[in-house]
A = this chain, B = another copy of it.
């Protein structure tokens, strides 16, 4: 028997999610004034510090603009938000946002090969790659394989030795992981191609900066196609 983790969410976190939910849902439009902290605190049944902390995070993330004395106004998160709000946009209120999912897939397909190329150029810390491939191969669970594949890519990003791409990967993973279980069926196609992983690992460790991007693109494009197709179907079904 497995026990689901008891979730202990913090109060400010809850408030943050709640307000952000209103924001991405569109009931709070850019430029509009947020209710005052005191009013929000009363409406949500929490104390002002909790609301303050949540709003402070939102301001830090560029989602709202607070001005002392004046009202806190909503910013256009598409113009001012950072990559870290991606998870909230992907699953606003539990439903998958198809446009966001599509854009994440595009980003994955575009960036993966670049990172693989950089990793091949610098092939310094890529010694662990073959073991990571074996780990994918050994894992029989579809979800487990996805996690192993994620770990594989993490090593690739590490080998690329680029802070910017590393942080980008972290943000994208944060958006991807919650949907990981739901995607396991569609992704099985990709994570089963052990040979493709092995070839990519070999190109990187071998320092083949020409082949690595090509192999990475080849590896990623299959599932990307499948997923985009699935998204199209979903979109049709929702209409």
Contacts and interface: CB of A to CB of B under 8 A. Distances in A.
Interface in A24-48: none
B110 A167 contact: no
A221 interface: no
Contacts of A82: 82-84, 167, 170-171, 174
A86 interface: yes
A172 B171 CA distance: 13
A163 B89 contact: yes
A20 to B, nearest CB: 12
Contacts of A99: 163
The prevalent SS among residues of A at the interface is helix
How many copies are assembled? 2
A56 B171 contact: no
Interface stretch (A73-81, A123-131, A141-149, A201-209): A73-81
Contacts of A163: 78, 86, 89, 99-100, 103
Nearest to A154: B79
Contacts of A12: 56
A164 B110 CA distance: 12
Contacts of A111: 110-111, 114
A114 B103 contact: no
A19 interface: no
Contacts of A114: 110-111
Interface in A95-111: 99-100, 102-104, 106-107, 110-111
